[in-house]
Amino acid sequence: MAEPIVDYSRPKGTRDILPPESQRWRGLVGVFADVVQAAGYGYVVPPIFEHVEVFHRLGEATDVVAKEMYEFTDRGGRRLALRPEQTASVVRMFVENRPAVPWKVWYAGPNFRAENVQKGRYRQFDQVGIEVLGVDDPYLDVEVIALAWRFYERLGLTQVRLVLNSLGAAGDRGRYADALRDYFGSHVDALSSESRETLARNPLRVLDSKRGNDRDIVAGAPRLRDYLSPDAAAHFETVQDGLRALAIPFDVDDRLVRGLDYYRNTTFEFAADALDAAQNAIGGGGRYDGLVEEMGGPPTAGIGFALGVDRTLLACDAESAFGAPLAGVDVFVVDTTGGRHALSLTDELWRAGIRADRAYENRSMKAQMKVADRSGAAVALIVGGDEAEAGLVTLRPLRRRDGETATQRQIARADVIDELKRTL
Ligand code: AMP
């Protein structure tokens, strides 16, 4: 019998994020947290898997749900799915926990979609995002969009483009979908086979088609703006006014329909112009009035966005923005007496809030100093036989500033923390 193939490599579409990139990753989430927490958003941690029905509420016709979900049956026979996005979970949390409105929350974490993998498109990818439930005020739409914009600004990105659209109220969208069905139906022979298939599921998605002939047909399709009710049109006007008031530039594109079925009224996307068109969508969101009801809650307005962490960092690379922070430590402890001194010294340093590392295995002074140099620390604390006997520690500067000669000195073991706090 053939041996089963043992594969210890990571699954297709997943990534290993190592230092220093991982530090940058955490830094990005930290910046996001600063921006949204300053605006009153609280952190939520939804489960990574849910009952599959929760995601079906996003619309069985959406690609994410119909084609890309990682579904499985657990040992108790329950149908579960790894979350393909987090809005559905946040809405489910809202319905289950009934917090007071307005409920303003943010999240960060991985999602799973069985995608065709390419650069910037993974099967496990991270998003940061916010959701607000219980407020139907166009100025909230502006706030939400502005928070994403300020976040990109804080990262140092300058080539982000905001594209905006309104999908109208539920009825508007339905009427528009009917009009599209009629229009594309009368051109069905000229459409690509993919678009014909999409048409049957969701005519709005045909507008997204980039295939040669489809584009010409799409160009002549009915325009969504002609199907907006007066209320929806007024809402959209106010959103645009608000963005102008905050000096946030935007383009209106009424072909922007976005992947998920639940969007209503305002929808938006952020494109990074420094990236190739295939992966330049770095974030998006919109209103999803109606989703709470779909999950058994009271009628509740909702709006939010999700920004792709992986892709936002690619955009940062392309703009040379938000570099990896200098990781590592400030102090490196070298102990050639066996390691006990290094053990207690590092513990003391850590407790005093000083970043420190050490060498192991009682190697030679030369070998330990090599590791100290590589660590990026500013000073080495050296304990050799003489120091140990005299109750001293040698403090040796490691990174020399220009023109300065690094002089080492000995200090009393008991003064180490105070001395470092003064000099670091
Ligand atoms: P969506 O939830 O589809 O609206 O996506 C929001 C953002 O998440 C996108 O703009 C991308 O930046 C990111 N994103 C979505 N799918 C993927 C994926 N498969 N790999 C990496 N990033 C993704």
Report pLDDT digits (tens) over 46-105. Answer: 999 999 999 998 877 677 887 899 999 999 999 999 999 999 999 999 999 999 999 999
Q: Report the alpha-carbon distance of residue 238 to residue 235 in Å, rounded.
A: 5
Three-state SS string over 41-97 comes to: CEECCCCCEEEHHHHHCCCCCCHHHHCCCCEEECCCCCEEEECCCCHHHHHHHHHHH
Q: Report the alpha-carbon distance of residue 103 to residue 292 in Å, rounded.
A: 13
Tokens representing 181 are: 């069905």
Q: Report the alpha-carbon distance of residue 125 to residue 310 in Å, rounded.
A: 7
Q: Report the alpha-carbon distance of residue 72 to residue 304 in Å, rounded.
A: 28
Ligand 1 close to Cβ of residue 304 (< 6 A): no
The distance of Cα 335 from the centroid of its chain, to the nearest Å, equals 42
Ligand 1 close to Cβ of residue 308 (< 6 A): yes
- Would the CA dihedral through 382, 386, 390, 396 be positive or negative? negative
CB-CB contact of 109 with 45 (8 Å): yes
- Residues 6 or more apart from 277 whose CB is under 8 A from it? none
Helical ranges in 220-329 per DSSP H: 230-245, 291-294, 309-318
Q: Pocket of ligand 1, candidates 12, 124, 125: which has the most ligand atoms within 8 Å of its Cβ, to mutate?
A: 125
Helix (H, G, I), strand (E, B) or coil at 163: strand
Atom number in ligand 1 closest to CA 258: 4
Q: What is the pLDDT of residues 350-370, one digit of tens each?
A: 999 999 999 999 999 999 999
Ligand 1 close to Cβ of residue 284 (< 6 A): yes
Confidence check: pLDDT of 343 > 60: yes
Q: Whole-model pTM above 0.85?
A: yes
Ligand 1 center from residue 239 Cα (angstroms): 24
Q: Report the alpha-carbon distance of residue 90 to residue 70 in Å, rounded.
A: 19
Inter-CA distances, 266 with 240, 289, 360, Å:
10, 10, 58
Helix (H, G, I), strand (E, B) or coil at 37: helix
Closest Cα partner for 284 from 299, 294, 272, 301? 272
Ligand 1 center from residue 258 Cα (angstroms): 11
Q: What is the pLDDT of residues 403-415, one digit of tens each?
A: 566 789 999 999 9
Q: Pocket of ligand 1, candidates 311, 313, 314, 316: which has the most ligand atoms within 8 Å of its Cβ, to mutate?
A: 311
Q: What is the pLDDT of residues 240-296, one digit of tens each?
A: 999 999 999 999 998 887 666 678 899 999 999 999 998 899 999 999 988 999 999
Locate the DSSP E strands across 157-254.
Answer: 160-166, 251-252
- Across 125-144, average pLDDT: 98
